[in-house]
Each structure stands twice: as C-alpha cells, then as structure tokens.
Structure 1
C-alpha cells in the first residue's frame, strides 16, 4: 500500500499561513516590479511599456511563518482588441480566486479615470480582501505621497471599498516592502505550505524564457510596436553530446509581429537590432537558469494576431 503524503505544515509558535495575493492596477502601475521585490529575485518581466504583463505568473515568497503566493496579472484597461478583452477576463477571473487583491496606485501619477474604472470593477468581487498599495514612492515628494494616500482613501469611499490596508512602498528602493509582506501575510488564512522550499515561481521554464526574450525586444521600440510583439519558444533542451561540466542549452524561439514594417523594425539594419535583443535575452536566461545558452531567434509575421481568435490560440492566448 502506497504511503499517503500529507501537505507540509510548518511548526511554530503561531499557526502557519498560506494563500494567494493578486497585484492589480492599471497598466504600468509597478505590479511586476513589486512582485520581483517581494520574491527577492526576478520572476516577472518589467518594462515601461503599458500592457507588458500578458500572463498570470505566480511568484512565491517563503517565510518561516507563511508562504505568500503573488499573482501578477495584466493591467486592467479598456480593451481595443480581442487580446485586450481576454487579458481583462483573466484579471477578473483571478480576482474571484485569490484571498487578497492588492491594487497598485503609482505615486508619480494622480488617481484618475483608469483607477476609478478598475476599482469600480473590483468592488463587484465580494469574496476577496482589498488592499491599496501606493507604489513608486521614490518618484514622489513626501507631500505628494500624503496627497496620494488621501486620494486613494477617497476613491475607496466613493466606490464602496473598505481598504484593509493602505501602504506606500518603493520597490526600487526597498522602502516598506518588508512591511507590506508582513501585512499581506496577516490577511492570509491559516493553511499548509503549498509549494516546495526553494520554488520561486510555478511558471514553466519555456514561459519564463519567452517572457525574457519579449522583455529584451520591448526595449527601445516605438510606442505602437510593443502590443504587436509575441514570443513563442518552439524548442528548448540541453545539447546532446556535451560534457556534464560544460552543458549548453539550445533555445529556438520565434518573435511574432503583425506587419512587414514591424518585422523590419525588430530585425534592424542588417540584423543589428535582433542581435542586440538576442544578446540581452541570452544574459537574462543564463542568469535565470544558471546554464550557458545558445539562442536562435527568428522573426515571423502573424497578421493582425491580436484580433484573430485562431492566431491568439496559436500564440497561447
């Protein structure tokens, strides 16, 4: 008779807590940077381009008293494409499945219509606890931060949301990131450890690699192009015949864009830009996986893929 393995429960003076926290907010509110800061390692790509996050990636924070699973979601926005509609659906579904929803409000921007739209939608999610996080405090003066906190409180009152906590943080400077973790843990239910020690994310390596390539491709591109770039890892594996002490990971990936003109931008003059993208991505992949990497990138056209259901399925959406 096989042994039944029970979930691991950490022993201590206080009961162990575990649960899921979703970071949400409008595009470019600092959700991904905050996720990485709490995990202590890069598990989510970041960019100053809106709508960088397209998938739900879970980052795992291990503590003696708790396991905090952070769910980084795309920014909620008014969609203009079928992709945008599906990303919004992903956000709304996630809100109904987690224990806590933490809304990020960047301090260097006023609380505006986009925030009001998001919080009004969030008010419909009755089950989850709501927390407000004032992000990017390193970009604002103390007076502006205080004003921002008042705006956040007013928005909660206006939309019928009672914030369980309102916390100003700087993910870049590390200010109050530990305090935020403590407060989030305090809102989680008692429960067992959900992931093994050492796991920092549950995303498959192919997904993480594809995201790192897309992050490198987003750097320095024109405003209209980021939304049109998608990356699929077609093949990934250790090269056969290599000595054990000199492994090499072969990665073959395709970058998809929607038009010929975009393909030219991504490749650059005589392939210079694609070479630069490959170099940056390879360094990040090697840092993540701890293995030397051979990266083969190809640029292909998937015409109007953001609006085409068949193309969206092919690209994993």
Structure 2
C-alpha cells in the first residue's frame, strides 16, 4: 500500500436499463449484480469493492430512477436518491443510443441540490456515430457542470480503465474499508437469491414482470462430500405467473434451476444441489410486511 492511499464511495445512478449493473460487474471483474434487458432489475443497493495498491473504491449500484407504481417502486427510488448524499462521487450513467429523456432531466434537477462531484458516463458508445456522440455530450454539458464526461462501453470495457484512473484522482486520502480480496459487502444468500431471480427474468421475458422475489430458505453443507444444498422459494403475485414459471411438465422451473445453479457454482467455487419451489403471495409489492420479509426494509432508508 502506498503512503497516500485513497478511498471513497461512488454511487452509480441513472434511468432504468442504462447499464449500471453491467458497469459494476465490468469494474469488479465478476458478477455481483444481476443483469437483464428489463427495466428496474436492481432493487437494492449492491456494493462492489474495487481495490488496487493506490486506492479502494466502494461502488454502490442503485435501482433505476423511475416513476413508482407501487410501494416496492417507492422503496427503489428512495434508495437511489438517498445515495446522492452518502457518497464522495457520483457516476451518472446515460444511454447514448436512447439520448436525452425526461428521466435524465429529472435526475439532473436532483443533482443540482447537492455538492457531490458528478461524472457523466455516456454508455453504449458502440451504438452511435462519433457525430451523434458529440452532439449528445453537448446537450448534457449545457444542463449541468459535470466534473468529468467520459464515453464508455460498460459491456465491452471501453474507457473503463480511464474512468477508474480519473475516479482515483478525485478521491481524497483515506483508509482501506474492506480487505483487499473482498469484492462485495453483500452476504452470499443475497447474491444467490439475485442469481435465481435473474434467470426468472431472462427466461420468462415479458410474461412474468417484476412481481418476482426469491427467498433462500436454507443452505446446508454435506460434511462428507462438501456439496451444498440450497433451498429457495420464488414468490409471485398471481397463480397464472406460478404456472408460467413452473412451465409444461415443470420444464421452465427445471431450466431456471439448472442455469441458476451454474451461476451459483461459479460464485461459490463448489458443487451445488439447488431445490426451487414457487409460491403465490398476492400483491406482495404493495404490502409492507412482505417487503420487509423479502429484504426490502424501508426503515433502513
């Protein structure tokens, strides 16, 4: 560790589906946040830890800022907006392909109320021409005095090293908050449940929207084989959604479990036996006691 070690907290904010989780995974070099082309995939603050010999950066991947339609949506937006005051630096991620929208203008208005430095990250630059990119940057530059404006491709990693270099420049001297080899502060149960939920989102597409939660009921280790048995329940709001997730002769649930198991084994580095059930809990996203039970505790925010 160098004499002038730097550290700090960075929030990754933006509209839904602009690539925030993809960027976090690219920085950390391992999947800790689930990815989907559906909006509002991230529901909780996901913290990733990036450490070098010179600095440690704790990244907070927030839910996409959107107009809420239920209590869960209120919770998600509250989380995202509250991070503005909790961090040393903000990454405001936009989608170069979709351009400036009302959602971005709303976020910029919120940013005007704080003194935190803000980087504008223009993501998906591989999807626009240089002329379109320059024009878009000018539009945003006229709306807010960004500390830095950096075009990136979160998926391909373009300009991400430059982004991290500039981030370190703007951080102050500070301690190492986490051990050097730690990449997230979330417990394994949380990440396992998210990996299962990701497969539900990817495989069911528009048939089952974000009315899905996953609860890990238990994790047991066989002392002889070292193999883990993970028991999980997928929560949905309607019986029709339960039927879709189970699928004909249980084939959809089997596919969800098989794909999730592979991701979990990569995460844990060990063999896993995954048991998954499906349960209907009507309108759980609008009932506070269910939100609390499923890990969305609004009192913490």
The whole-number CA distance in structure 1 between the counterparts of 2:34 and 2:108 is: 25
Q: Which runs of 5+ in 1 are unaligned?
A: 1-9, 157-161
Trace 1:3-18 onto structure 2 (pairs within 5 A): 10-12=1-3, 15-18=4-7
Separation in 1, partners of 2:139, 2:197 = 35
Out of 163, 170, 173, the position equivalent to 2:153 is 170
CA contact (8 A) 1:138 1:172 kept: no
Q: What is residue 131 of structure 2 aligned with on the other side?
A: 143
Describe the SS at the equivalent of 1:227.
coil
Deviation at 1:155, TM superposition (A): 2.7
**Aligned residue number for residue 163 of structure 2:** 180
The alignment status of 1:68 with 2:32, answered yes or no, reads no
Residues 168 and 210 (structure 1 numbering): CA distance in 2 closer, same or farther, change over 3 Å? same
| Aligned residues of 1:45 and 1:215 also touching (Cα < 8 A) | yes
CA RMSD, Structure 1 to Structure 2 (Å): 1.2
Contact 2:203 2:256 in 1 (8 A): no
Alpha-carbon shift at residue 294 of structure 1 (Å):
0.4
**Cα-to-partner distance string for 1:136-167 (whole Å, 9 max, x where unaligned):** 112222222222211221232xxxxx210010
Alpha-carbon deviation of 1:100?
Answer: 0.7
Residue of structure 2 in register with 1:196 after alignment: 179
CA–CA separation in structure 2 for the residues paired with 1:222 and 1:304: 20
**TM-score normalised to structure 2 length:** 0.95
Of the three residues 212, 222, 225, the one matched with 1:239 is: 222
Gaps of 5+ in 2: 297-301
* Aligned equivalents of 2:173, 2:151: Cα separation in 1: 26
Question: Is residue 238 of structure 2 the alignment partner of residue 259 of structure 1?
Answer: yes
Say if 2:293 is the partner of 1:310. Answer: no
Moved over 6 A (4+): none
Report the CA distance between 1:42 and its aligned residue: 1.2
Specify which of 41, 52, 74 is matched with residue 30 of structure 2.
41
1:253 aligned counterpart, secondary structure = strand
Establish whether residue 278 from structure 1 lines up as the match of residue 278 from structure 2: no
TM-score, scaled to structure 1: 0.91
State how 1:48-127 maps to structure 2 within 5 Å.
Answer: 48-124=37-113, 126-127=114-115
1:132 aligns with 2:120: yes
From 234, 240, 250, give the equivalent of 2:229: 250
Verify the 8 A CA contact 1:34 1:171 in the aligned structure 2: yes
Q: Does 1:212 align with 2:209?
A: no
In structure 1, the residue matched to 2:209 is 226
Q: CA deviation at 1:224?
A: 6.0
- Inter-partner Cα distance in structure 2 for 1:96 and 1:16: 23
Separation (CA, whole Å) in 2 of partners of 1:267 and 1:224: 13
